[in-house]
Chain A
Amino acid sequence: MLSAELLSAFLEIVGPRGLITAQNQLQTYECDGLTAFREAPSAVLLPETTGQVQAILRLCTRHKVPFVARGAGTGLSGGALPTQGSIVIGFSRMTKILNVDLVNHQITVQPGVINANVTVAVAGAGFFYAPDPSSQTVCTIGGNVAENAGGAHCLKYGFTVTHVLEATVVLPSGELVTLGSKSPDAPGYDLLGVFIGSEGTLGIATEMTLRIVRKPEAIQVLLAAFPSISAAAQTVSDIIAAGLLPSAMEIMDRLAIVAAEAAVHPQYPMCDGLLIVEVDGPLAEVKLQAEQVLELCRKNGAIETRHAIDEGDRLLIWKGRKAAFAAAGRLSPNYIVQDGVIPRTTLPVVLEKIAAMANAEGLRVTNVFHAGDGNLHPIVLYRRDNPGEEERAIDLSMRILDLCVETGGSITGEHGVGREKQCSMSYMYAPADLATMQRVRRAFDPDNIANPEKLFPTPRLCGEQKRGHYVPHPVEASGIAEVF
């Protein structure tokens, strides 16, 4: 609990409209998109300026009060989940677009600006903001930067880190730093590069200058229905092998199609493996590429292929894909979205294994994923009402991540580690690797008050024993020797 003095100091900084302490209102902030974990904050502060954020963090440092920054709370890994005794700093009152610089292709925004609104601000001039997480109509840029958010179009355009030029950051001490620069290659260490994706554990960005991208001349979306996920996955490999670089390649399985259809009626063909491919660029180039993609789809046994007939049709196709997570609610009252990454070539094998694991557990898993990147989003469906089912669902989703690591992949491609996957970190990284990351953290946050108990495995949350954690010796990893 916060002392009365501290609360009144906070009140002085943000004013009565910027401080929430009533229990019923605090409930709104007890979890983010990962609803399986909940913890009420001590207070919620809604600052309006960078100066207010500085003042808040100075107090946090002086009184060793942990803080958790929060945008729209759409994160899927528990990044905005309060820590015991922490305050939450929300950015719903810092939603201004500060500057649009079309000549240099950049825009400066506050952290509470919604992702899609960045594109809205520059669309008239023929630009867009490329990173497009599925939640882009509600999620904020501050959260995107914290998580290094991705999205379907990252295959061609890169992640959030590719598109942030400069950030004004309040360090946990309350000091203000400018990381990066509006010009390329700021001198010194790339502190901005390491800050992006640090999940709020290094400080809080209160102003960000983003790169905007020229809208392509033409965009074409193709749908191909396959009798199996493997055939769809093979098509993706063939497209890559042909040297093509579509702007997005997505695969959905039958269950995901059913859910999307029920939610937004995108009129997908019903099949076991639906491939969505988007190509963009100069008009003539797009036509040629689309033909090549269709040819490869047919070669791999596509039952049905079609392309978007117009802009409305294209947007509807994407609406269905982006609604997939939320639509999972139509299949089951509760679900966990996972975010593992695997080398693209192992897709068919890994998907089969996931199906087998789900069967053995008696749970349903539906798959929607960024096939071009090998970024899987298995959605584990369960009912919290059934005793023990939530625990089994969490366990299954963690074992899916282990499988991803075993194929040489990662436990998260775009959702972040947060609270959810911190115990899996020591499955992916050796102690020395994690200790190296901690050196970065100590430089930024020596008091460990910025979103503590996230990202790194802790003895309290992960237990002293490791979950079968095993890091292969380099000799073994390179295939020179085997362990029996």
Chain B
Amino acid sequence: MLLLTNLAEHLAPLVGAEFVAERNGVFVVSPKDTQEVAAVMGFADQHGLKVRPTGGRTKLSWGSLAEVQIELSLLRLNQVVDHPWQDLTCTVQAGCTWETLQQTLARHGQFVALDPLWPSTATVGGVCATNDSGALRHRYGSLRDMVLGMTIVLADGTIARTGGRVVKNVAGYDVPKLMVGSLGTLAIITEVTFRLYALPRHQQDFLVTAESSEKLSPLMRAIRESHLATQALQLHGNVSFLETVNGSALYIELNAHPEALQNEMLDQMCLREGLTLGFLGSAIPFNREALFRPDAVVIRGTMLPQYVAAFADYVQREGGASVIQSFGVMYANFPYQERNGVPVLRVVKDLWIDLQAAGGSLTVLHVPDALAAEYAAWPARMDTSSSTPKTGEAVLLANAIKQQFDPNQTLNPLANESAAQPVR
């Protein structure tokens, strides 16, 4: 039996003593490459130690995770390995920050067409493990459409290359798909190959405001049905923290040559709906990050596109603010306060039920410390198995996958044993 007290002595030979540290009783190890990650995993798996892989530590509250003995930091695997720009692909290590990756790719006028949260600290591995995506998804799709291949380390230390390095490849199972959004519960991502796009050259940004999202709904629908080269279409509900706006705002990003005069078409569409088109600089006036307040419950909800405006107003009525992509992904916050005697977690639970009834889902991303105990006492974690399929079979299948990849439950065990399926 291994004693936790001398764990550092066992880990030091694997990665070097200076790369093992203790933080609040957790041993933080920082391997330098995939081989060292494999060595740490092999050791941990063999000795029944629980491991949490981390990058920039920006989204650790996503997924109700249990205590672990080892935190495996990927921050030393931070290189852009290869950027064959003429092939529109790149291969990057998991610990590279999103911003560094994009800056490197921008030298050749390219980018990974994804705008995740906190790009200056969030890492490639963490963005993939949480399947984060932002407004650009409207035009370019999500990580599912961008990840070509991955190098992963399984719980038992097996190193596997999955997928490929070319834009088109259907040889064998697409294992990277399984890794995207798996919250580090199946394997540790150490390297990712992305397909790239040319940076947009004619971006124009607009904002249309109204007192409610329903008022903006016909315009949003019209834009979705139009031939405009829309790159992002994002609804901001209850944006009172914007100085000039109190209500809802529709953010529209076009990417078309100025000669195409798309802004004039958009202007006409606004007029037809009795709305005024506002011009913006090149930055979103506020973004999803603003929702992540320490004193608020923060959630991610999904829904069919047709319900986007209705749920924006729903959240607003309940005292929350939201940022919703027109295709049906919502981020919302509910500040921790009693409102008409209704506790905020009750509001969230009702929203969850309504989203589910509309064919969607809800995931809790952050709970203030003051509510942690109440949240932990919920009978079934709404963000896990209970919110998934119509039948329980998909849950069994997900558990079978977990069992195959990590039979000893070494990687990122979840706090709630009954909730073996991670959130995405």
From A186, A410, A436, give the contact of B166 (CB < 8 A).
A410
Identify which of B21-29, B170-178, B275-283, B290-298 touches chain A.
Answer: B170-178
When distances are taken between beta carbons in the complex, the residues of chain A under 8 Å from B361 are 181, 183, 185-187
How far apart sit A370 and B170, CA to CA, in the bound complex (Å)? 15
B114 to chain A, nearest CB (A): 14
When distances are taken between beta carbons in the complex, the residues of chain B under 8 Å from A158 are 141, 145
B167 contacts A373, CB within 8 Å?
A: yes
From A103, A197, A344, A443, give the contact of B87 (CB < 8 A).
A344
Is residue A27 within 8 Å, beta carbon to beta carbon, of the partner chain?
A: no
A186 contacts B388, CB within 8 Å?
A: yes
A161 to chain B, nearest CB (A): 7
When distances are taken between beta carbons in the complex, the residues of chain A under 8 Å from B249 are none
A444 to chain B, nearest CB (A): 7
B394 contacts A179, CB within 8 Å?
A: yes
A240 contacts B177, CB within 8 Å?
A: no
- The residue on A at minimum CB distance from B133 is A185
When distances are taken between beta carbons in the complex, the residues of chain A under 8 Å from B305 are 103-105
B225 contacts A214, CB within 8 Å?
A: yes
A432 contacts B175, CB within 8 Å?
A: no
Identify which of A10-18, A35-43, A90-98, A146-154 touches chain B.
Answer: A146-154
From A159, A183, A288, A439, give the contact of B257 (CB < 8 A).
A288
From A147, A184, A432, A437, give the contact of B172 (CB < 8 A).
A437
Identify which of A254-262, A263-271, A298-306, A412-420 touches chain B.
Answer: A412-420
Is residue B197 within 8 Å, beta carbon to beta carbon, of the partner chain?
A: yes
How far apart sit A159 and B168, CA to CA, in the bound complex (Å)? 9
A436 contacts B302, CB within 8 Å?
A: no
From B142, B175, B201, B259, give the contact of A185 (CB < 8 A).
B142
**B120-176 CB contacts (< 8 Å) to partner A:** 131, 141-142, 144-145, 152, 154, 158-162, 164-175
B171 contacts A412, CB within 8 Å?
A: yes
B145 contacts A162, CB within 8 Å?
A: yes
Is residue A313 within 8 Å, beta carbon to beta carbon, of the partner chain?
A: no
B173 contacts A197, CB within 8 Å?
A: yes
Is residue B303 within 8 Å, beta carbon to beta carbon, of the partner chain?
A: yes
A84 to chain B, nearest CB (A): 23
What are 16 pairs between A and B in contact, CB < 8 Å? Answer: A148-B174, A178-B389, A183-B302, A188-B398, A189-B422, A198-B173, A240-B86, A282-B227, A282-B260, A284-B261, A288-B259, A341-B169, A408-B165, A416-B170, A433-B162, A443-B403
How far apart sit A434 and B158, CA to CA, in the bound complex (Å)? 11
From B85, B166, B169, B398, give the contact of A191 (CB < 8 A).
B398
Given contacts A176-B393, A179-B394, A187-B388, contact A432 B87 (CB under 8 A): no
**A174-209 CB contacts (< 8 Å) to partner B:** 175-179, 181-191, 193-194, 196-198
A18 to chain B, nearest CB (A): 25
How far apart sit A198 and B397, CA to CA, in the bound complex (Å)? 16
A193 contacts B170, CB within 8 Å?
A: no
How far apart sit A233 and B172, CA to CA, in the bound complex (Å)? 28
Given contacts A154-B168, A184-B302, A440-B178, contact A191 B142 (CB under 8 A): no
A430 contacts B170, CB within 8 Å?
A: no
Taking Cβ atoms with an 8 Å cutoff, the residues of A that contact B are: 103-105, 126, 147-148, 150, 154, 158-159, 161-162, 171, 175-179, 181-191, 193-194, 196-198, 214, 216-217, 237, 240-241, 243-245, 281-285, 288, 341-345, 370, 373-375, 408-417, 421, 425, 428-430, 432-437, 439-444, 455-456, 474, 478
When distances are taken between beta carbons in the complex, the residues of chain B under 8 Å from A197 are 170, 173-174
A177 contacts B391, CB within 8 Å?
A: yes
From A181, A288, A345, A443, give the contact of B401 (CB < 8 A).
A443
A412 contacts B162, CB within 8 Å?
A: no
How far apart sit A245 and B160, CA to CA, in the bound complex (Å)? 32
- The residue on A at minimum CB distance from B221 is A103
How far apart sit A104 and B400, CA to CA, in the bound complex (Å)? 33
Is residue B81 within 8 Å, beta carbon to beta carbon, of the partner chain?
A: yes
A345 contacts B168, CB within 8 Å?
A: no
How far apart sit A416 and B173, CA to CA, in the bound complex (Å)? 10
Is residue B250 within 8 Å, beta carbon to beta carbon, of the partner chain?
A: no
Given A197-B170, A282-B227: 9 more A-B contacts, CB < 8 Å: A162-B141, A171-B393, A176-B391, A184-B142, A185-B424, A189-B421, A194-B178, A413-B169, A434-B172
Across the A-B interface, give the 6 residue pairs with the lowest CB-CB distance, nearest first. Answer: A193-B177, A243-B198, A284-B260, A217-B227, A443-B400, A410-B169
Given contacts A184-B302, A187-B388, A430-B161, contact A285 B201 (CB under 8 A): no
A424 to chain B, nearest CB (A): 8
How far apart sit A372 and B327, CA to CA, in the bound complex (Å)? 28
- The residue on A at minimum CB distance from B181 is A190
- The residue on A at minimum CB distance from B306 is A103
How far apart sit A411 and B45, CA to CA, in the bound complex (Å)? 34
Counting chain A CB atoms within 10 Å of each CB, the highest count among B164, B228, B422 belongs to B164
When distances are taken between beta carbons in the complex, the residues of chain B under 8 Å from A435 are 158, 160
From A147, A214, A243, give the contact of B227 (CB < 8 A).
A214
